[in-house]
Structure 1
């Protein structure tokens, strides 16, 4: 399995990170993809990428919840890193209108700029779109470049939203919410083609049942795979095989395991 979205560098893992990574390996995880948040999360993320170069793969980007008045300086740091090191994607980027709408205009501009960086560096984008799916879609359509591809991370939308994301050429990142009783994905996943889905945990957040409310970790990805299989009426092994193949297809610039840190 490929864990397509985990903040494994988060301080919640400080005391037992190596053990968690070992559990992930033992549980069938072959790669963990790490989205960045802002300049302060880069050092920890890059340390993991260098310690586990065949296992922990970094993205580079500015998370919308970290976009403030001085976001341009953050984006300069993002671009500096993109020019110095190799990354698998630009992420996580997007829009978040759930917590605070104060910097909505800045979020939009940061997204536009980072999409252009993705196109420049031939990378896919990892999208965060909480309470802002259609706003994010509007920006993608405004950019109107068919080479812009990626994942709608933590997808929890309805069938119309799922079909729109797929129409734009994006994959749907499915995580622990699929296991929630009222998560809503039971009304969506049965109607989708498996080739449009990838798996994630968003660790340490959104742990699947039966760990809901506790710290999430990549080894729980198997629970997500099982739930997706149940909802789509497919065996878990088929879910794992196809979602892994789909995730690998995103790595247009770097084949898995080939990233070199200069």
Structure 2
């Protein structure tokens, strides 16, 4: 298990996004980043995943065990990013193929069944709905064994019932990993997170979360109360920005 620290100023090209960023991401837990669109959530995700782009950090991104992050992170980015010429099994196992490893076909089939796509394994992405494509992308991340997992809006295209089911599945299969979740959904953040931050131009505000193990029961009074409080805070932030 790997803990992470993100400290400093986040820039997008020549423009500052977040000053005095300080994130202490615990090992083996789910940590959530919330904030308005454009604040820099996906930029942080790309930094952690080591992806190229205009984002840069004037500061430090460190693994608390002192080892480099290269090869330890898998990411589900916004958008499906599926290979249009490949069927669903081939899309799920693309990571192993790129590494020159033998794909675990049985596990790929099992994961596709778990995300509700049994019987569709040989379809191409163009034959899927947006929600089905997002579930293929989720299965592609779940099949990897990387200790750090970055999920950028992983359930955004799903209907409410399917979203809850996929949250529960991801929580079960990623147990013990260091997960960074980016979402605009307060309930999703409260259900899944052990730590959560609200990002803004001046830094990251640590958010209090209800007690208890994750995924939390979406019907629990303390979860509903926390959701309402977080929605009110997000609304106030938008109103002040406007």
Q: Same fold by TM-score, threshold 0.5 exceeded?
A: no
Q: Which has the higher strand share?
A: 2
TM (norm. structure 2) is 0.39
Q: Which has the higher Rg, Structure 1 or Structure 2?
A: 2
TM (norm. structure 1) is 0.37
Q: Which has the higher helix share?
A: 1
